[in-house]
């Protein structure tokens, strides 16, 4: 771990993970906001992402989890780490925060979660799965065997304009969702282990990560400081993309900068001459 001349831990580093089937583009604005606060922000590409469909479909939650833990351990050797993620990336960040102590790692300097689901209970109709309580969702392990990979329609021009996104747009691997749901069962049970300062940001109209899940998370974690930001937009599109949505990305950056300023060590400012 790096230290300042007076022996105190050095300035925090930020580690932010992107979402399922996406790329670091999803969290680029967040990383930029953290760099503006004097942090070195890292947004690594998860295994199987950013390549062809075969590599993506062959990847697994176990690989993403191992990769995320290795990246966190590597950066912890340099000093405190502000840990965060969007959607799948937030799930990975939560998992690390809950298990850091048993893995012999320090807890994060702060935890930032963007549109992070705790269970999958809202699905697009073109994915052949219904809403909350759907029998299709209850039978997800079976439907994942019947339709392991779904070809879904591309986003509309209106959705692309409202909230840009990069990734495997036309693919949905139900096997990935089965793996994430299995991991989330343990993550939900360990929420009381989250003690570090926590910031949750999402849209009010996020169907993939409903606001009630975020409130449930805050009620069960043991964070010294926990805040929830529910953002509204006029556009009905891009509900699951708060950091790239044209109506919310600047507000997300403001919230992230303020949170980092309060909860994670910043780069020391030079004395005025």
- For the stretch 141-192, pLDDT in tens is 787 888 888 888 889 999 999 999 999 998 888 899 999 999 999 999 999 9
> Mean per-residue pLDDT for 59-86?
97
- Measured distance CA(273)–CA(85) in Å, rounded: 39
Residue 11 has pLDDT above 80, yes or no: no
Encoded tokens for 59: 């990847």
Asked if residues 48 and 41 have their Cβ atoms less than 8 Å apart, the reply is: no
Residue 242 has pLDDT above 60, yes or no: yes
Residue 211, CA distances (Å) to 40, 86, 247 in order: 30, 15, 18
Q: Who has greater pLDDT, 170 or 228?
A: 228
Average pLDDT over the chain reads: 88
Concatenate the DSSP letters of all residues of 106-162 into one string: PPPSEEEEES--SS-----GGGT--STT-HHHHTHHHHHHHSSEEE-PPPPHHHHHH
pLDDT, residue 163, reads 97
Report yes or no on whether pTM surpasses 0.85. yes
Would you list the domain boundaries of the chain?
Answer: 13-263
- Measured distance CA(63)–CA(196) in Å, rounded: 25
For tokens 């469909």, what's the residue?
53
Residue 34, CA distances (Å) to 82, 130, 218, 261 in order: 10, 37, 23, 9
Residues 6+ apart with CB under 8 A from 39: 11, 12, 13, 14, 82, 260, 264, 266, 267
pLDDT, residue 96, reads 98
Alpha helix ranges (H) inside the chain: 28-36, 53-58, 61-76, 88-99, 135-138, 140-146, 157-162, 174-189, 211-220, 249-263
pLDDT, residue 133, reads 41
Residues 6+ apart with CB under 8 A from 66: none
> Mean per-residue pLDDT for 40-59?
96
- Measured distance CA(151)–CA(171) in Å, rounded: 5
* CATH code for the domain defined by 13-263: 3.40.50.1820
Encoded tokens for 270: 């030079």
pLDDT, residue 132, reads 40
Residue 269 has pLDDT above 50, yes or no: no
- Measured distance CA(207)–CA(114) in Å, rounded: 14
- Measured distance CA(211)–CA(215) in Å, rounded: 6
3-state secondary structure of 172: strand
Asked if residues 49 and 19 have their Cβ atoms less than 8 Å apart, the reply is: no
pLDDT, residue 135, reads 55
Residue 221 has pLDDT above 70, yes or no: yes
């Amino acid at each position: 771990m790096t230290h300042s001349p007076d022996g105190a831990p050095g300035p925090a580093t930020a580690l932010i993970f992107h979402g399922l089937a996406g790329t670091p583009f999803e969290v680029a604005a967040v990383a930029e906001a953290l760099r503006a606060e004097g942090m070195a922000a890292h947004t690594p590409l998860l295994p199987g992402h950013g390549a062809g469909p075969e590599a993506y479909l062959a990847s697994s939650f176990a690989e993403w989890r191992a990769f995320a833990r290795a990246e966190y351990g590597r950066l912890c050797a340099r000093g405190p780490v502000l840990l965060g993620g969007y959607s799948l990336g937030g799930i990975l960040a939560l998992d690390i925060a809950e298990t850091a102590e048993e893995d012999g790692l320090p807890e994060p300097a702060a935890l930032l979660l963007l549109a992070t689901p705790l269970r999958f209970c809202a699905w697009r109709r073109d994915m052949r799965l219904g809403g909350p309580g759907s029998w299709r969702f209850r039978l997800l392990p079976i439907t994942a065997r019947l339709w392991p990979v779904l070809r879904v329609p591309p986003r509309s021009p209106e959705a692309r304009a409202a909230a840009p996104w990069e990734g495997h747009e036309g693919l949905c691997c139900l096997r990935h969702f089965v793996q994430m749901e299995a991991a989330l069962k343990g993550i939900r049970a360990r929420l009381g282990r989250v003690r570090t300062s926590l910031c949750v940001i999402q849209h009010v109209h996020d169907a993939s990560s409903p606001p009630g899940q975020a409130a449930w998370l805050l009620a069960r974690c043991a964070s010294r400081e926990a805040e929830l930001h529910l953002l509204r937009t006029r556009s009905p599109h891009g509900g699951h993309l708060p950091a790239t949505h044209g109506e919310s990305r600047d507000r997300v950056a403001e919230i992230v900068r303020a949170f980092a300023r309060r909860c994670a060590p910043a780069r020391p400012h030079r004395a005025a001459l």
